[in-house]
Structure 1
Amino acid sequence: MQRKHVMKFSLTMPFIKNLSIDQRPVGIDSQGQIIYEANPAEAPYIVYDSAQEAPVGFGVKVAGKKTFILRRKVDGKSMLAKVGDVADFMVGGKSPLPRAREVAAGLAIVMKETGKNPVVEQRMRRVNDITLGQAFDFYKRHLATRAVKPASDSTLKAHDVDVRKFAGYGWLRKKVCELSIDEISEKFVEEVKTHPSAKERAFRHAITCVNWYIQKEKLAARSEQRDPRLTSNPFEVLVLDRMFRTPAQLELLRQENQVRNPLRPSTTLGPFLEVAWGKRRYNDNETAVDFLILQLLLGCRKSEHGATQWGEQLTPEQRLKTSHVMLDCPEYGAYIFFYQTKNGLNHRLPLGPIAVELLRRRQALCAEAFVAGESTSLTRKFVFPARSKFCKTGHYSDSTYILNVIREDAEIPKLTNHDLRRSFGTMMVTLDVPENIYARFFNHKRPIVTDLYTKPEWRLLREWIERIEKNIISTAPNIYNSLSPAGWPVLAAPEPFVSKRIVRLGRPPKMRNEVQATMVA
């Protein structure tokens, strides 16, 4: 095969400017003038630089546009790298050719040291650069599959909610490295004007996801003996610039906005319980009211006790991995067991006599419903069975509607499900419960925590839960007199609460209004 002719000239900018695709230089005549020949096919060509100050292999490629290039052979492999467009080097008018030669010399050093084409490697890095959407996806997969405390469904849903916010910004397809810190800061300031807590959580979650990927990428790069594709997190600018609210600021806002409203033993706790107990007799509200009262007596989260099952229907092996209630346990007595709570730990609590009596009545109600054919094999195993046979989970979970009805009838301005847990904490503070007992009841995570207790420890917990329970229930004499064991003194009680509300249609008010509006339309 005939070797292709290599064109080499001492390049100057006037010479480069004079080059065109329709003709190409082929030599120099006796008078030192450059000889050109026609290039009718307009085939691209390269003119190499023979100047002493030019790195070997440096030249200019003439095609649709003129481009500085560098060709080098390293370890028998020929590599062609683009140095840059001639037009770009001419911007500013300051020595474009010397600057191009300098850049080419730097590329030549990299080629020799690594044996790789730096331009190609950079292009591949850009192709492989992770997008924000990919960072979210990778972290979600990590959350769901990690061996230690895999994420719950609610955690994964919260993750998806945060991701949708960034989808609204059009950022999911953007490379993380292309997101500027100014862009992130400006968007954060704009977004936190509305729903600041949700927006702060979303941006904090983005920091967590990207940081996790960076650490993972560092390990992968070290293993593959390459540079990491991502080394810094642009979202960290929000931490650096202290743009997130501090815990002290948040606590002040909660107080100003009355976000946390536990029931007070001397004012609102009694009326709440009296109204709740009065509501229990109407509209099949037993399950909903018992759900709220037990949450108040145990200080648990609504997500924890809603799925509890009757322990008598479980095998010993099933009880190890299922939230359940045992009313007659030879080892512990009456107790409730929560499997893998919010902090990932199991949580076992003794039950006081009031809670035990309430649960025995629940057992009777559940048995009657099953015999009457009002429940299924799925729902009968739950302490709080779903009202509908078509419920997928089989258990009751959302007490928002009945809680709001009770709150309004008890004339309590604000109250949430989590405020019932806070109410339990308020009673513990009132009774000066020791800090270690307080932490046990609230299941606060500590370095060494177990749901197994010695007999003295369990006895102490039972003494305190009975004392707390009695002080809570004694604020409502009607419920106290109904559930208290034989031998407890009877309290003077007011007339039982009687609801004056019209029987509801079976839907929460918001949903009912939407249905009625649709029917009118």
Structure 2
Amino acid sequence: MAFRLKLNPEQLRQLRSTQRPKLDKAGGIVTGAKGFAVLEPNPDGKQWRFLDASPGAPTGFGVFVGKLKSTYEVQRKIGGKVMRISIGDTSELTLKDAHDLAGVKVAGAKKEGKHPKVLAEKELSIQATKALTVNQAIQLYHDMLARRTRPATEGTLKTLTNSIARLARPEVGIGDTPIMDLDEEKVTKAFEATRLSAALHSNRLSQPVKDFMERTGRVDLTDAELTKLGVTSEAMRSRIRAAGVSAAEQTFATAFRAVNYVVDKEARAAKKAERKAVLFGNDFGVLWEEGKMRDAAGLHDYYEKARVRNPLGSEDNTLGDAIEYLWSRREAQRGQNESGVYYLLTTLFLGARRNETAKLAWFDRLSESERATKSWVWLDEMDPKAWRAGVPSVNPATKKKGPQVFFAKTKNRRDHSMPLGPISVQLIKHRFEKRLAEDDPRARWVYPARSKRAAEGHYKDSKAIMKGLGEKLSVEFGPTPHDLRRTLGRYATRVGISDRIISRLFNHLPPKRDDEDEGAKSSVRYQEPEWFELQDALQKVEHLMASSAPSFYNMLKPADWPLLPARQVPGPSEE
């Protein structure tokens, strides 16, 4: 590690070997604001390493900069051997959490005298089992999920890594506790500490609220306390009191499953060795017994009180105002917002998740093998023969007719394909007409990032546009990108689309029933909607949604849809 660098969070998240530190004529590191290193393109793209020069960095802590990702690591001499220990992906862990986790892994390696990877891969002995800590159990669980026949998703593995980091925070202090030394009181205290810690790390709470929580050591603030802090909305009070709960629930549910895993593993090892198990019971279960982990009913009550789900509507014309606002932002900042505007409008009319829309590529710019594993869009224009003949194209991968979209490996781990409705087609055609030249590194993406140097190449961050939209609508909360997805569901119900077709459009799995047998599962498969049914449903719902914004509707409507009169804006005398 020749370099000692200090990088900001955004640099760390996007760091790849396509970049390198900029050097001055004397060979020194060029730095910018606050001492952060300046990066420049790395023509040869070779992988490299550097030591972390930020305050609080553990000895030997640095980053390995690879071609596909960058990884925190720490190098120390332990037991007479130099060990290089991987900590986690820079796009997943904050620098502070990586520092804390490095300390835990180094301490574990010193205690065992072995590399953490060796501990994770070897069969648990009685001694190792007795000394096994909570975070080591989560790491074992993580490794099992990553190597099994059907590996866990990246999101699941990231959740485990984040849980390890939270439990390693000094204010929580339970990550390096041996499972055998746990008791219900320690688990309960650690849960509350994690909740408070997560609330103080939240960017959704105002600084005065966080300062008060830190002074009192409580997240559950009273009405009187919140009123003094200027919080008068009941929905906002509910949100503040719930701060950190989701993070704590996720973290401790992870720990519960990981401990169950190692307890079962130890029981099997004990049976094989004809000895008594040294691990049994799971103290994390006390959180469910005491009601600290919310069930479905508790979550529903919270969503209602905190007004978490806010689909756009027609009663207050939030949908029409939102569409008009987004459509007007295309030319803002000399076109800098154009890709983001189309990304949000397409997310609205597809009813897609934000990351699903962001990762859409052009079908004809993917290799044949990539088309099965990457998300893509297909338009009639991509089949010149059909286009010249004026007939619908047939996609070579799905064998389905007409414009369509394919989402690979979605949240429920299933691929999802659907036709494009008439408004979605027009939105994506606008992108097709302006797509980048093939030699541009962002050329494959329907919604390219602003910069050629963007790590993933596609658009990702819509926070600024969504913030402006929230201010335009004058709503207390949101909307969020997921509220755009919910909006399609609200309007699909209004035009009488059946539940089975709505579920198919949203790629929702049917709910599990306790009495479900193989026959019932087969019946669900028989109810799969046909392609033309999906096309008909999308035409109806897109027509209703788009008509709430007449100027937008009139510009993008198919020829056979009637024109709509412009919206009348009330004048001063009419208000």
Indicate the TM-score class for this superposition, using the shorter chain for normalisation.
0.5 to 0.7
Please say if residues 341 and 347 of structure 1, whose CA atoms lie closer than 8 Å, have aligned partners that are also in contact: yes
The counterpart of 1:393, out of the listed 456, 466, 478, is 456
Q: 1:211 to 1:383 in 2, by over 3 A?
A: same
> 1:316 Cα shift?
3.9
Structure 1, 182-191 or 385-394: larger mean CA deviation: 182-191
Please say if residues 149 and 344 of structure 1, whose CA atoms lie closer than 8 Å, have aligned partners that are also in contact: no
> 1:244 Cα shift?
1.8
Q: Deviations over 1:495-519 (max 9, x none)?
A: 89xxxxxxxxxxxxxxxxxxxxxxx
The alignment status of 1:279 with 2:282, answered yes or no, reads: no
Aligned to 2:299: 250
Aligned to 1:346: 415
SS state of the match for residue 325, structure 1?
Answer: strand
Aligned to 1:14: none
Please say if residues 500 and 529 of structure 2, whose CA atoms lie closer than 8 Å, have aligned partners that are also in contact: no
Number of equivalences: 364
Q: 1:321 to 1:176 in 2, by over 3 A?
A: same
Q: Deviations over 1:46-84 (max 9, x none)?
A: xxxxxxxxxxxxxxxxxxxxxxxxxxxxxxxxxxxxxxx
> 1:242 Cα shift?
3.1
Aligned to 2:239: none
> 1:345 Cα shift?
0.3
CA distance in 2, matches of 1:198, 1:249: 16
The alignment status of 1:457 with 2:530, answered yes or no, reads: yes
Structure 1, 169-178 or 270-279: larger mean CA deviation: 169-178
SS state of the match for residue 406, structure 2?
Answer: strand
Aligned to 1:508: none
SS state of the match for residue 201, structure 1?
Answer: helix
Please say if residues 501 and 529 of structure 2, whose CA atoms lie closer than 8 Å, have aligned partners that are also in contact: no
Aligned to 2:372: 320
> 1:159 Cα shift?
2.2
The counterpart of 2:188, out of the listed 185, 197, 206, is 185
Please say if residues 330 and 338 of structure 2, whose CA atoms lie closer than 8 Å, have aligned partners that are also in contact: yes
Aligned to 1:232: 281
SS state of the match for residue 337, structure 1?
Answer: strand
Amino acid at match of 2:138: F
Aligned to 2:152: 150
Q: 1:398 to 1:203 in 2, by over 3 A?
A: same
SS state of the match for residue 369, structure 2?
Answer: helix
Amino acid at match of 2:314: P
CA distance in 2, matches of 1:219, 1:292: 51
CA distance in 1, matches of 2:249, 2:538: 37
The alignment status of 1:474 with 2:547, answered yes or no, reads: yes
> 1:482 Cα shift?
0.9
What does 1:138-177 correspond to in 2, within 5 Å? 138-152=140-154, 154-168=155-169, 169-177=172-180
Please say if residues 360 and 376 of structure 2, whose CA atoms lie closer than 8 Å, have aligned partners that are also in contact: yes
> 1:437 Cα shift?
0.7
Identity of aligned residues (%): 33
> 1:274 Cα shift?
0.5
Aligned to 1:132: 134
Where in structure 1 are there 5+ consecutive unaligned residues?
1-123, 497-521
The counterpart of 1:363, out of the listed 432, 439, 451, is 432
> 1:296 Cα shift?
0.5
What does 1:101-112 correspond to in 2, within 5 Å? none
Amino acid at match of 2:504: R
Structure 1, 132-141 or 424-433: larger mean CA deviation: 424-433
Q: Deviations over 1:229-275 (max 9, x none)?
A: 42221111222333322322222222211211110133210000011
Q: 1:420 to 1:157 in 2, by over 3 A?
A: same
Please say if residues 262 and 419 of structure 1, whose CA atoms lie closer than 8 Å, have aligned partners that are also in contact: yes
Please say if residues 174 and 190 of structure 2, whose CA atoms lie closer than 8 Å, have aligned partners that are also in contact: no
Please say if residues 166 and 194 of structure 2, whose CA atoms lie closer than 8 Å, have aligned partners that are also in contact: no
CA distance in 2, matches of 1:138, 1:229: 17
Please say if residues 132 and 172 of structure 1, whose CA atoms lie closer than 8 Å, have aligned partners that are also in contact: yes
Q: 1:495 to 1:387 in 2, by over 3 A?
A: farther
The alignment status of 1:215 with 2:279, answered yes or no, reads: no
Aligned to 1:404: 467
CA distance in 2, matches of 1:351, 1:258: 31
Structure 1 length-normalised TM: 0.65
The alignment status of 1:202 with 2:251, answered yes or no, reads: yes
CA distance in 1, matches of 2:486, 2:369: 33
Amino acid at match of 1:170: G
Please say if residues 163 and 251 of structure 2, whose CA atoms lie closer than 8 Å, have aligned partners that are also in contact: yes
Amino acid at match of 1:210: V
Q: Deviations over 1:340-395 (max 9, x none)?
A: 0001000001101111111111011114xx28xxxx53311011111111111111
What does 1:114-133 correspond to in 2, within 5 Å? 125-129=126-130, 130-133=132-135
The counterpart of 1:337, out of the listed 386, 406, 409, is 406
Aligned to 1:378: 441
Aligned to 1:413: 476
Aligned to 2:495: 431
Q: Deviations over 1:453-484 (max 9, x none)?
A: 99971110111011111111111111111111
Please say if residues 400 and 417 of structure 1, whose CA atoms lie closer than 8 Å, have aligned partners that are also in contact: no
Aligned to 1:442: 506
- CA root-mean-square deviation: 2.5
Higher relative contact order at CA 8 Å, sep ≥6: structure 1 or structure 2?
Answer: 1
Amino acid at match of 2:252: F
Please say if residues 306 and 396 of structure 1, whose CA atoms lie closer than 8 Å, have aligned partners that are also in contact: yes
Where in structure 2 are there 5+ consecutive unaligned residues?
1-124, 196-217, 220-243, 381-392, 513-520, 570-575
Please say if residues 408 and 415 of structure 2, whose CA atoms lie closer than 8 Å, have aligned partners that are also in contact: yes
CA distance in 2, matches of 1:461, 1:198: 37
CA distance in 2, matches of 1:405, 1:471: 25
CA distance in 2, matches of 1:128, 1:453: 49
> 1:144 Cα shift?
2.4
